[in-house]
Amino acid sequence: MTYRRCGRSGILLPEISLGLWHNFGGGADEAECRAMVGKALELGVCHFDLADNYGPPPGSAEECFGRLLKRDFAAQRDEMFISTKAGHLMWPGVYGDWGSRKHLISGLNQSLRRMQLDYVDVFYHHRPDPNTPLEETIGALVDIVRSGKALYIGLSKYPPALFQQACAMLREEKVPCLLHQIRYNLLDRACEAEVLPTVAQEQTGCIVFSPLAQGMLTGKYLGGKLPSVSRAADTSSVFLNAEKVQADAERVQQLQNIASAAGIPLTELALRWLLRREEVTSVLIGARTVAQLEQCAAAAGQAPLPQDVLEAIG
Ligand SMILES: NC(=O)c1ccc[n+]([C@@H]2O[C@H](COP(=O)([O-])OP(=O)(O)OC[C@H]3O[C@@H](n4cnc5c(N)ncnc54)[C@H](OP(=O)(O)O)[C@@H]3O)[C@@H](O)[C@H]2O)c1
């Protein structure tokens, strides 16, 4: 595995990290989850990304990961970099969502209980809250670090100006933002205009999610296919379906043609293309099987993509 420094911090992250959004929930095969954590550690994929609401049902990914950690991987805790998040709807009532001090501190306490951990390595505010003063959210994050329940703070999906404001407040408190978590893939390049330059300016790390556009950039849906075991076919996931797959099919086919001409698997092309950006510290994949994890991890430490391939992608 190749590691990159996370902004100006002391932390190195693997070029490929493992996210547990949809692959460790209630319906997941726990033996496969255990095998994935084991294989990840063997490959040097030492960063595991969670959030309170990962599952489904919400909380079940943290519970599964916590059981596996306690049973099989406790001795390797210090070799692992574990994150969680709060800020999306998690529990009923008026405190179960967004960015208040109440929500963030209660949310992290619940996550630590589910994972049977004393602390996480990074705690994120999962999304900006338009109705809570930024000072309150940042104050809670700072206090969380000072309490020892998280070693570092991350922010997710913050628009550039708010991200800069938040970074300035965190710096002032001597709890600098470790990294920004954003969506970036060959089908969604919105972050290139402003978000990535802001990350560079703030000198934070940056970890990018849905690098394979939830599986579309593996080519598995090409030719109108809808594999029965796939995220798009899974009716418990509202984030990908046959219509969304169809909407991007033409562009994915173009990219598949470029990958085939270059002799590089499309999955690897998609991940190496993201790693071409030096602002990107790590690419956060959501593999569901050990085989998928191994294929994705193979994208780390590779030479830059050839110029003609980059030009063909555009
Ligand atoms: N901060 C945020 O708001 C936010 C939002 C979304 C995600 N995230 C984080 O980012 C992580 C990754 O997001 P993502 O799950 O959308 O990532 P992704 O890697 O783009 O998509 C994951 C899906 O791709 C398929 N896949 C992965 N590797 C494959 C391979 N080698 N061959 C074939 N199929 C492969 C699997 O699909 P099948 O299930 O079809 O086999 C898997 O479910 C999440 O787990 C989470 O930690 C954060």
pLDDT of 238 reads: 84
The crossing angle, in degrees rounded to 10, of helices 160-172 and 134-146 is 50
CA distance 292 to 106: 35
Domains located in the chain, CATH noted: 3-218+264-307 (3.20.20.100)
CA distance 265 to 145: 41
- pTM, two decimal places: 0.97
Residue 289 structure tokens: 């099987």
CA distance 88 to 127: 7
Does the C-beta of 286 come closer than 6 Å to ligand 1?
A: yes
Does the C-beta of 295 come closer than 6 Å to ligand 1?
A: yes
For tokens 């090409």, what's the residue?
Answer: 222
The crossing angle, in degrees rounded to 10, of helices 266-275 and 249-262 is 90
> Across all residues in the chain, what is the average pLDDT?
97
Alpha-carbon distances of 186 from 212, 267, 272, rounded to whole Å: 8, 11, 11
pLDDT of 211 reads: 98
Does the C-beta of 49 come closer than 6 Å to ligand 1?
A: yes
pLDDT of 313 reads: 97
Closest CA to 285 of 9, 277, 295: 295
* Least-confidence region, from 32-36, 45-49, 135-139, 230-234: 230-234
Ligand 1 mutation pick, 214, 237, 296, max ligand atoms within 8 A of CB: 214
Residue 213 structure tokens: 């556009």
Cα 285 to averaged position of ligand 1 atoms, centre (Å): 5
- Is pLDDT of 6 > 80? yes
Closest CA to 299 of 11, 43, 33: 43
Q: Phi and psi at residue 152, in whole multiples of 5°?
A: -140, 165
Confidence of residue 296 (pLDDT cuts 50, 70, 90): very high
Task: Compute the Cα dihedral for 75, 77, 80, 84 and give only its sign.
Answer: positive
Q: Which helix (H) or strand (E) holds 187?
A: none
Does the C-beta of 180 come closer than 6 Å to ligand 1?
A: no
* Least-confidence region, from 16-25, 191-200, 223-232, 298-307: 223-232
Ligand 1 mutation pick, 88, 284, 294, 296, max ligand atoms within 8 A of CB: 284
Ligand 1 mutation pick, 127, 212, 229, max ligand atoms within 8 A of CB: 212
